[in-house]
Structure 1
Amino acid sequence: MLLISLFLATLFLAYSNGANDNFKGVATLFGSRTSSYQTAILWATFTTFAGAITATFLAGTLIQSFSGEGLLPDAIANSPEFHIAVAIATGLTVLIATLMGFPVSTTHSLTGAIVGAGLVAIGLQLNFAALGTSFILPLLLSPIIAIPLGAGIYWLSGYTNYKWHLPINQKIVDACHFLSAAIVSFARGLNDTPKIVSFILIIEYFSIQGGIITIALAMALGGLLNSQKVAVTMSEKITSMNHTQGLSANIVTGVLVIAASQFGLPVSTTHVSVGSIFGVGLISKKSNMRVFYQILLSWILTLPTAAIISGITYRLLQG
């Protein structure tokens, strides 16, 4: 019964992750009206799924433990009750944010859920120092890097065009925009799917490849059915954008996500994407500060919300 519950909780987490995250790579496509919402979400679904399927061939090196980088002993983290509590709390936190239209980090929700269940399991023996690299640094570093880069790339493109009067082929710009969105979505599918699969590896009926495909399908379904509110926030509410602004923001997101993966920088794809969109809006003076502050608050509240839900769930499962 516990293993069935764990499987369902992990599917719920994957669905919530897809609902909140799948649209982030294509938000600028819709926001700049380079594509319709339907085309954007289908492109995101296809490219994210492609990244997830690619992960099946690299599963041995990509599967990552969700133990929170040393937050608590593996003996506790590997119990079914702990897995279930963390999966439910993470999925519920992300889904609540999704229904409210806030783009949040699944990894930060996951960290909070581990902290909550960990506090119930071992109290203050939890390794709080690890929170610095898994939560605080990404929260601070991602927007600090992404906002000025987004603003700089857009300003540079405008200055270059003004200075040299370069002809702009809109079809080439749009093709590059779709390609950049594909890269971001592919990278997310490649990196996020194996993390979620790690929840169900204790279920011996699943092969790693079978688990990845199952999780990828749940993520795709979440994106197709529940991404509208996050889409509107990222595409329209943070700032209005034209084709060049949208492409500039997505280039920054793609480059930073790939560079972070290569050099081990603790950045959040969610925070980078939001930051780069906000950055291009600063140059055009159309950024909505109120919406950005609301999103920032949702990022800060992610960890304690997931921690409370996880701690309560873990205690109930122990009983």
Structure 2
Amino acid sequence: MILALLFLSACFLAYSNGANDNFKGVATLFGSGTTNYQKAINWATITTLSGSVAAIFLANELVKNFSGKGLVPNELIAMPIFAISIAFGAALTVFIATKIGMPISTTHSLLGALFGAGVMAVGSQFNFEKLGSTFLIPLIVSPLMAAVLSLMLYIIFKYFRKQLGVTKKTNLNIHKKQTQSIATLNMDKTLSLKSKTAIKATIQNKTETYEGQILGLSSQKVLDALHYLSAGIVSFARGLNDTPKIVGLLLIINVIDIKLSMAIIAIVMAFGGLINSKKVGLTMSKKITPMNSGQGFTANLITGLLVTTASINGLPVSTTHVSVGSIFGIGTATKKADYKMISKILLSWFLTLPLAAIVSAILFKLLETLS
């Protein structure tokens, strides 16, 4: 019964993770108007699943890190109620954030839950030194690095674009307003009908495209292809980075093969993204900064490179933190960043760790009392 509860808690975490995180890789595709929401989330689902499959072979170090090994005594890791507390504490935190449309970090939630349940269980025996060096430093440094690198890369790409003679064109979304019809009864008792249709161009919903050629090909088509590829890289990297973190909680269930565990977690994660990711998707796509396809491609390229590198080296960075940092870097470069929205996101990040810690600590104490 207790092992079944652990498995369900891990699945709840995977679903919440997919709902909050799956769209982040393709947020720039939707935000720049390159594609619509449904096509974007479909592409995210396919590429995230691919990353999850790759994690079976490339991300074993992350599995070990998020099992709690090195942070708490091995005897505690072998207790199912410890893993249940971590999974449920992190899952509930991420699920609440998803419902209000805030993009938070599953990594951060897991870290908070590990801390809460670990301190409740062993007190001062908790390895605070490893907590800082292995977990906290990458989480703090990565979004700052992403913001700086995306800003620098945007400036470099802008320079080369001008050198190649590629120019930007602004397109206004023109649509009809309500048609007004007026019927008039003439002196000769005939009836005439006059219609008036107003045309409106909305600057707020403008889109930017690129004109010119790169190696004989349309610059916009080349950029769109690269943008799709970069979004796929980010989603692939997220699957590669997040799947083993959740599977790490299932290591104590020896009856389930680790490869099968990753497959199940990947499928549940995909469903979470397909069903429940729109609110967070809108925040990431539309509310941090307006962007065109070139700017979106730049942000994605930095996010994908940083997260993939971190995953292969066993560093538990947050795809959310890196992605938001990259998009914010673009907004800083274009001077269009919404600092009010950024402050709300930063507040949600600040609250993530203590909320997950409190929930997991209370649950661990409750399960310990009942067992």
TM more than 0.5: yes
For the 8 Å contact 1:48–1:187, the answer to whether it is kept is: yes
Cα displacement (A) at 1:190: 2.1
- Which residue is equivalent to 1:224? 274
CA distance in 2, matches of 1:61, 1:120: 26
Cα displacement (A) at 1:258: 2.5
- Which residue is equivalent to 1:203? 253
- Which residue is equivalent to 2:238? 188
Pick closer, same or farther for the CA change 1:49–1:287 going to 2, 3 Å. same
- Which residue is equivalent to 1:158? 158
Pick closer, same or farther for the CA change 1:309–1:254 going to 2, 3 Å. same
More strand by share: 2
After TM superposition, list the pairs within 5 Å mapping 1:140-159 onto structure 2: 140-159=140-159
For the 8 Å contact 1:55–1:62, the answer to whether it is kept is: no
Pick closer, same or farther for the CA change 1:9–1:299 going to 2, 3 Å. same
For the 8 Å contact 1:67–1:114, the answer to whether it is kept is: no
Structure 2: give runs of 5+ residues left out of the alignment: 167-211, 214-218
Cα displacement (A) at 1:61: 6.5
Pick closer, same or farther for the CA change 1:143–1:16 going to 2, 3 Å. same
Pick closer, same or farther for the CA change 1:237–1:69 going to 2, 3 Å. farther
Deviation string 1:124-152 (CA, Å, 9 cap, x unpaired) is 33222223234431342112211121112
CA distance in 1, matches of 2:155, 2:50: 33
Deviation string 1:1-36 (CA, Å, 9 cap, x unpaired) is 101111111110110111111111111111111111
Give the counterpart of 1:298 among 341, 348, 365.
348
Moved more, 76-85 or 254-263: 254-263
For the 8 Å contact 1:246–1:277, the answer to whether it is kept is: yes
For the 8 Å contact 2:81–2:367, the answer to whether it is kept is: yes
More helix by share: 1
Deviation string 1:248-298 (CA, Å, 9 cap, x unpaired) is 111111122223345565632211110110111112211000111111121
The structure having more radius of gyration, on CA atoms, is 2
1:267 aligns with 2:317: yes
Counting matched residue pairs gives 319
CA distance in 2, matches of 1:263, 1:171: 34
Pick closer, same or farther for the CA change 1:282–1:236 going to 2, 3 Å. same
Any idea what SS the aligned residue of 1:153 has?
helix
The amino acid across from 1:216 in the alignment is A
For the 8 Å contact 1:108–1:134, the answer to whether it is kept is: no
CA distance in 1, matches of 2:265, 2:164: 49
Moved more, 128-137 or 31-40: 128-137
1:237 aligns with 2:287: yes
Any idea what SS the aligned residue of 2:72 has?
coil
- Which residue is equivalent to 1:309? 359
CA distance in 1, matches of 2:244, 2:315: 19
- Which residue is equivalent to 2:64? 64
1:249 aligns with 2:299: yes
For the 8 Å contact 1:249–1:277, the answer to whether it is kept is: yes
After TM superposition, list the pairs within 5 Å mapping 1:113-128 onto structure 2: 113-128=113-128
CA distance in 1, matches of 2:32, 2:94: 26
CA distance in 2, matches of 1:286, 1:59: 37
CA distance in 1, matches of 2:29, 2:59: 31
Pick closer, same or farther for the CA change 1:145–1:86 going to 2, 3 Å. same
Any idea what SS the aligned residue of 1:88 has?
helix
The amino acid across from 2:226 in the alignment is C
1:11 aligns with 2:61: no
Structure 1: give runs of 5+ residues left out of the alignment: none
Moved more, 229-238 or 154-163: 154-163
Cα displacement (A) at 1:69: 5.6
User: What is the alpha-carbon root mean square deviation over aligned residues?
Assistant: 1.9
For the 8 Å contact 1:59–1:208, the answer to whether it is kept is: no
Pick closer, same or farther for the CA change 1:285–1:259 going to 2, 3 Å. same
- Which residue is equivalent to 2:32? 32
Any idea what SS the aligned residue of 1:27 has?
helix
CA distance in 2, matches of 1:56, 1:265: 16
Deviation string 1:79-128 (CA, Å, 9 cap, x unpaired) is 10101111100101111111121111111111110111112111233222
What TM-score, normalized by structure 1, do the two folds share?
Answer: 0.94
Cα displacement (A) at 1:62: 6.3
Any idea what SS the aligned residue of 2:152 has?
helix
Any idea what SS the aligned residue of 1:64 has?
helix
CA distance in 1, matches of 2:56, 2:147: 34
Any idea what SS the aligned residue of 2:64 has?
coil
Cα displacement (A) at 1:65: 4.2
